[in-house]
Each structure stands twice: as C-alpha cells, then as structure tokens.
Structure 1
C-alpha cells in the first residue's frame, strides 16, 4: 500500500469505528427496544443526533473504502478492514467500560497477526 492508499485505509477504519461509537452512544439514549416501544424507537432514530452522526460516519467510511478499492486489491484491503474490530473492542473497553474476556483478546491478537500477514509485502 502506498502512503495515499494507507491514508484512505486509515480514514475508512477511523470513520467506521467513530460511527460505531456514535451509534452505541445514541442507542444508549434510546434504551432497550421491545414490542411496545418499537415504533417510537424508529422515530427517535431519525431525531437522535448521535445516531445521525454515526450513520454519516459509516457513509464516509464506506465511500472511502470504495475509493480504496479502486486502488488496492480486495484480497488485501478486505481482510485489513478487520482492524476495525480491534479498535471497536478497545473503544468498548475504554469508553463504555465493557469487560474484554481473555478469549476475545486472543482473537484480537490473531486478527492483528492475520492483517500483518495479508498486507506484508
């Protein structure tokens, strides 16, 4: 990957992770959905700023990913996008205080090793 391609890659990953963070933050504002409040939740989704911002970040990440696919092989960038899982777990732990089990940490380590092997030239 060249420097501009790596920049597109980072923007795509970052936008996706920020989008997940914002969607989680907005979802926490909504509360749990059930059969009785389903319609209300659907209406609240379009009026919750964090959810709209999260969806916008996802759109930015998708557009950047498409631009990246015009320059880099899918067999390289597809697996590399798995790094968003690593960053999402870190955000979940440090921001939302979610516990990360050892099995998850091992899985994240394997993802990182796999990505390194895929993008290594």
Structure 2
C-alpha cells in the first residue's frame, strides 16, 4: 500500500469513526427505543443534528473507501478497514468513559497486528 492509498484508508476509517461518535451522541439524545415510541424515535432521527452529521460522515467514509477500492485489492482494503473497531473502542474509553476488559485489549492488539500483516509489502 503506497502513501496515497494509505491516506485514503485513513480518511475512510477516520470518517467512519467520526460517524460512529456522532451517531452515539445523537442516540444518547434519543433515549431507549421500545415498541411504544418507535415511530416518534424515527421521526426524531431526521431532526437530530448529531445523527445527521454522523450519517454524513459515514457517507464521506464510504466514498473514500470506494476510491480506495479502485486502487487496492479488496483482500487488503477490507481487513484494513477493521481499524474502525480499534478506534471505536478508544472513543468509548476516552469520550464515553466505558471500561475496556483486558481481553478486549488482546483482541484489539490482534486486529492491529493483522492489519499490519495484510498491508505489509516486501
């Protein structure tokens, strides 16, 4: 993966992670959905700025990913996109104060090692 391709990957990952952050912020505003309020919740989604921005970020990330797919094999791009999982856990920890069990650290380490091996070129 050359520097331009790596930049596209990072843009895609960061846009997706930003999208997740704003979707979570918007979801926290909505509250829990149950069968009695599902239609009100759906209507609220289109008027919550955080949710709209989160969806916009996801769209931007998808465009960057499509551009990446024009340049690299899906067998490289797909597994590399799993870095979203790593950053999502970090956002959960630093922004939402979620606890991270030690086994999850191991899982995240394996993801990072796997991505390194997938993008590694001789």
Q: What is the DSSP-based 3-state SS (H/G/I as helix, E as strand, rest coil) of the residue aligned with 2:98?
A: coil
Name the residue aligned to 1:46: 46
Q: How many residues get paired?
A: 121
In the alignment, structure 1 residue 69 sits paired with structure 2 residue 69: yes
Name the residue aligned to 2:56: 56
- Once the two structures are TM-superposed, the CA of residue 6 in structure 1 deviates from its matched residue by 1.2
Cα distance in 2 between the residues matched to 1:27 and 1:47: 12
Residues 1-121 of structure 1 correspond to what in structure 2 (within 5 A)?
Answer: 1-121=1-121
Q: Which runs of 5+ in 2 are unaligned?
A: none
Q: Which runs of 5+ in 1 are unaligned?
A: none
Cα distance in 1 between the residues matched to 2:75 and 2:11: 19
**RMSD of the alignment, in Å?**
0.6
- Deviation >2 Å, runs of 4+: none
- Once the two structures are TM-superposed, the CA of residue 35 in structure 1 deviates from its matched residue by 0.9
- Once the two structures are TM-superposed, the CA of residue 36 in structure 1 deviates from its matched residue by 1.0
Cα distance in 1 between the residues matched to 2:94 and 2:29: 19
Q: Deviations over 1:65-101 (max 9, x none)?
A: 0010000111111101111100000000000001111
Q: Deviations over 1:17-36 (max 9, x none)?
A: 00000000000000000111
